[in-house]
Structure 1
Amino acid sequence: MSAKSSAPVEIDFDKIQTHRTFEVVCEKVREKLASGHLKPGDKLPAERKMAEQLGVSRSAVREALRSLEIVGLLRLQKGVKGGAFIVAATSENLTQVLRDLVCLDAISLQDLSEARALLLDMVVRLAAERATPEDIAALEANIERTRQVIAAGRGEERLKCAFEFYHQLAASTQNRAVVYLVDSQTSVVQAYMHLRTWNMPADELLRSRDRLIRHISDGNADLAARELRRHLQKVSHLLWTQAADG
């Protein structure tokens, strides 16, 4: 038998990734959230105690807490009753990520609008299957508020009514993940619309919303999706020239 070669095996090792201490502290807090040991409203231990438990400096804990506050996981409160508190989840974090992606040209507003249209097609189809009488009543109430706001010429409130309409539409799917996605996408699209001039005819908007709710109430997913698709196509056209209610 031939002797084995004494030459070392050719192999590449990945470099060991080192993390800054505060990042490790952040990850420890996230682990407690994921495991359910921390919930919205809970107050974290004092800075000194956290540093002792984790075996790190107080400055590392302080930096971690500030970092977690920036991303929206914590609220830092000063005073006798102050401390670091876990906050309830909102769509704002996702909204900021999408807004940054658009600002950095990682995605275009057209990309986002197209993705939103695809998501909303699924939303209305699910709503046609799952919407409760209370959901339908809430959507109808929103249309009535929109009608009153338009009649009074209150543009800012009209935009808010549009956001609430899509929020309630998403809530009608009975899927919380869908609500977060719709809310964040709507917020970003509306931020750009807000910079432009209103041009969507009010009567046309209200009639379209009425038809959409009727189709959802009847459980007709195809007609509901078709109605919303027509509306979003008009919004998409207006978005590149003047703002609309999308």
Structure 2
Amino acid sequence: MEVLKGLSRIDVTSPSEQIIQQLRALIAQGVIKPGDRLPAERALAEQFGVGRSAVREALLKLEFFGILRTRPQSGTVVEDNMTSSGISGLIANMLSIADPAPADMVEARRILEVQTARLAAERAGKAAIAAIRAVHETHVAAVAENRPSIEPDVLFHLEVAKATGNEALHSMVSVFAPRIISSAKESGTCDAGRATQALEEHATILRAIERGDADAAGHAMHRHLIMTGTRYSELDAGT
């Protein structure tokens, strides 16, 4: 219809984005200053009236961009090597790229996680491999019992990243986690047969890491993320 052609998509701000915007306003007003410690995650969730996962997603994004830092025994604090105006500007820039399209996210993950899988195969010790296998088995059980499986799916990728022993890589992969979970729940990419396909792809990655075969691990991760992108495309196309 001609009327429909004249309408454009309405962008609804996510809860995590609204949380970030509110924190930015408090920083700009000087209520929150560089070096200040933020309230606990539970207290923030209660004050915002949202689930803790939304708060966690917001804090992870802010930490990834260097605006927040988690200190042992001190909790989450605002970075103290920038001015309030500098932090506010950085958040404004971050918000413009804070909610990537699934295709963009999958492409970025391919660039990052293929190498992560290779390094995990080269470096993972017995404990790290056991941790990857444990979360994989949790994923297997969830799919077999027809329970939600996106959380163990994402945890598999986080354990692979952790197995590299590189905390920067682990943090970079972690920042994708909340958005992957929300996208999967919205689109249904982990429903029914699609979850089984992802599970089989994970098993191939795990076997390569267990063998210490970096080339096979990288190839398996690349194929898995290509297939993940395909699953998103099929759902967008309504197939």
In structure 1, the residue matched to 2:219 is 226
Q: Residues 175-201 of structure 1: CA distance to partner in whole angstroms, max 9, x if unpaired?
A: 111111101123223322211222544
Does residue 148 of the first structure (1) align with residue 141 of the second (2)? yes
Please report the RMSD computed on the Cα atoms of aligned residues, expressed in angstroms: 3.2
Q: Residues 141-163 of structure 1: CA distance to partner in whole angstroms, max 9, x if unpaired?
A: 111111111122112xx111012
Query: Is the Cα contact below 8 Å between 1:68 and 1:74 reproduced in 2?
Result: no
Amino acid across the alignment from 1:91: L
Query: Is the Cα contact below 8 Å between 2:136 and 2:202 reproduced in 1?
Result: yes
In structure 2, the residue matched to 1:215 is 208
Closer, same or farther: CA 189–130 of 1 in aligned 2, 3 Å: same
How far residue 118 of structure 1 moved from its aligned partner, in angstroms, is 0.8
Closer, same or farther: CA 76–176 of 1 in aligned 2, 3 Å: closer
Where in structure 2 are the equivalents of 1:64-143 lying within 5 Å? 64-65=32-33, 73-75=37-39, 91-94=60-63, 101-103=97-99, 108-143=101-136
How far residue 112 of structure 1 moved from its aligned partner, in angstroms, is 2.5
In 2: Cα distance, 1:75 partner to 1:102 partner:
23
Query: Is the Cα contact below 8 Å between 1:163 and 1:183 reproduced in 2?
Result: no
* TM-score in terms of structure 2 length: 0.59
Q: Residues 12-49 of structure 1: CA distance to partner in whole angstroms, max 9, x if unpaired?
A: xxxxxxxxxxx9xx8xxxxxxxxxxxxxxxxxxxxxxx
In 1: Cα distance, 2:137 partner to 2:218 partner:
22
Name segments (4+ residues, structure 1) moved above 6 Å. 95-99
Q: How many residues align?
A: 165
In 1: Cα distance, 2:119 partner to 2:224 partner:
18
Query: Is the Cα contact below 8 Å between 2:60 and 2:175 reproduced in 1?
Result: yes
Closer, same or farther: CA 135–239 of 1 in aligned 2, 3 Å: same
Q: Which protein, 1 or 2, shows the higher relative CO under an 8 Å CA cutoff with sep ≥ 6?
A: 2
Where in structure 2 are the equivalents of 1:27-42 lying within 5 Å? none
In structure 2, the residue matched to 1:166 is 157
Closer, same or farther: CA 174–200 of 1 in aligned 2, 3 Å: farther
Closer, same or farther: CA 241–186 of 1 in aligned 2, 3 Å: farther
Query: Is the Cα contact below 8 Å between 2:158 and 2:170 reproduced in 1?
Result: yes
* TM-score in terms of structure 1 length: 0.57
Gaps of 5+ in 2: 1-23, 42-58, 66-90
How far residue 238 of structure 1 moved from its aligned partner, in angstroms, is 1.1
Amino acid across the alignment from 1:93: L
Amino acid across the alignment from 1:178: L
More deviation in 119-128 or 109-118? 109-118
Query: Is the Cα contact below 8 Å between 1:113 and 1:236 reproduced in 2?
Result: yes
In 2: Cα distance, 1:115 partner to 1:138 partner:
25
Closer, same or farther: CA 220–102 of 1 in aligned 2, 3 Å: same
In structure 2, the residue matched to 1:51 is none
Gaps of 5+ in 1: 1-22, 27-58, 78-89
In 1: Cα distance, 2:176 partner to 2:40 partner:
28
In structure 1, the residue matched to 2:183 is 192
Aligned partner of residue 229 in structure 1, secondary structure: helix
Amino acid across the alignment from 1:169: V
How far residue 108 of structure 1 moved from its aligned partner, in angstroms, is 4.1
Closer, same or farther: CA 99–185 of 1 in aligned 2, 3 Å: farther
How far residue 76 of structure 1 moved from its aligned partner, in angstroms, is 7.1
How far residue 208 of structure 1 moved from its aligned partner, in angstroms, is 2.1
